[in-house]
Structure 1
Amino acid sequence: MYEVFVNDYPIILTNILTKEVKHKLFLLESVRMEEVIRQLTKGEIECAHLYDPEAGQLLKKFQEKMPLVVAAGGLVTNEAKEVLFIYRNGKWDLPKGKLEKKESIEEAALREVEEETGVKKLKLGPLLQKTYHIFKRNGTYKLKETHWYGMTSTYKGKLKAQCEEGIEKAEWMKPDEIPEALRNSYANIKVLFAN
């Protein structure tokens, strides 16, 4: 099973048939993604389940429906156990961005965090998870697969938000400030803090 978000609305890729209660079931093989996205964003449905009997093929078949963009980012903590957030498009987010040519996912994660926030002395930790969300660019829906890494930093310098990427702020947040920030964040970011 995979969870893909359209804003805060989930699309569940599944090989298990369940009784429809708060979701609508579509066959992955024949679904028109524009129609699913329209129904979700218009509030006609709360959740969409895209069914295919082959569990191992769910993501592959879904990726055939729209172009895939691979990105990487970090959930960065400092010595004070604060977490690094960015503020962009009116929401709190974590630093991330798409891979450049011939760049590994790990290299992209470190580069994007430093570029978007100015934080240096980054130490890459484990892959925490991958999240998926759909966005629209130049009239085309795309699927973004983001690889999230745990990271640490001993950096004590000034944070520098990457304005040219639309980032208004970069901030270290104390653990007790994070729940408030997550109330104004994206569903795929909230997933990282649910564990």
Structure 2
Amino acid sequence: MYKVFVNDAPLVLTNKLSETVNGEYFLLNESAINNAIDALAKKKLQAAYIYHPNHEEILKKFTKKIPLEVAAGGVVTNKQGKVLFIYRNDKWDLPKGRLDKGETLEECALREVEEETGVQGLKIENFLKTTYHVFKKGGTYKLKEVHWYAMQTSYKGKLVGQKSEKIEKVKWKGPHKIKKALENSYTNIRILFEGDKFH
């Protein structure tokens, strides 16, 4: 099962019919997918489902209809146990960005975090998870697949938000402030903190 978020509403790609009970059901073709995304984007539906019997094939087929953009980012913790957040588009978010040609996912994650926040001396601890969301670019829907990594740094320097990416603020946040930030964030970001000490 894959959960693709449209704003904060899930479009669930599943190979189990039993999972499609509580929402509208759509076929795996271009017009149906676009209808599903439109309905979720306009908040006409709270959830939508696309069924395909083969789990391996479902994402492949979906990305033939909706172009895929691969990105990577980081959940960065400093020596005080605080987590690095960025603020843009009136929401708290985590640093991430698009994979460049010839780059590994790890290299992309480290580069993007540094570019967007000014934080240096980053070390990847482990892979966390992959999240999916739909966004609109030039009038067409695209699927963003983000590979998230847990990172550590002992950086104590200045935090600098990347202006070209419209990042207004960069902040280290402790557990109490993380909880507050997640209330004004995205479902995919909240997912990264699920079952964590921050909840």
Band the TM-score falls in, shorter-chain normalisation: over 0.9
| 2: CA distance, partners of 1:43 / 1:99 | 30
| 2: CA distance, partners of 1:26 / 1:36 | 7
Corresponding residue for 2:66?
A: 66
Corresponding residue for 1:106?
A: 106
TM-score, scaled to structure 1: 0.96
Matched, 1:177 2:177: yes
Q: Is the 8 A contact 2:29 2:65 kept in 1?
A: no
Q: Is the 8 A contact 2:68 2:142 kept in 1?
A: yes
Displacement of 1:38 in angstroms is: 1.5
| 2: CA distance, partners of 1:16 / 1:189 | 26
Q: Is the 8 A contact 1:22 1:46 kept in 2?
A: no
| CA deviation map 1:62-112 (0-9, x unaligned) | 111111100000000001000000000000000000011111111010000
Structure 2 portions without partners, runs of 5+: none
Displacement of 1:45 in angstroms is: 1.2
| 1: CA distance, partners of 2:28 / 2:140 | 19
Change (3 A) 1:19 1:110: closer
- Structure 1 residue runs of 4+, over 3 Å off? 19-22
| 2: CA distance, partners of 1:101 / 1:55 | 28
Identity of aligned residues (%): 55
How many residue pairs get aligned? The number is 195
Corresponding residue for 1:158?
A: 158
Displacement of 1:29 in angstroms is: 4.4
TM-score, scaled to structure 2: 0.94
| 2: CA distance, partners of 1:8 / 1:77 | 26
Corresponding residue for 1:122?
A: 122
Q: Secondary structure at the match of 1:36?
A: helix
Structure 1 portions without partners, runs of 5+: none
| CA deviation map 1:154-177 (0-9, x unaligned) | 000010011111000000001111
Q: Aligned AA for 2:23? A: H
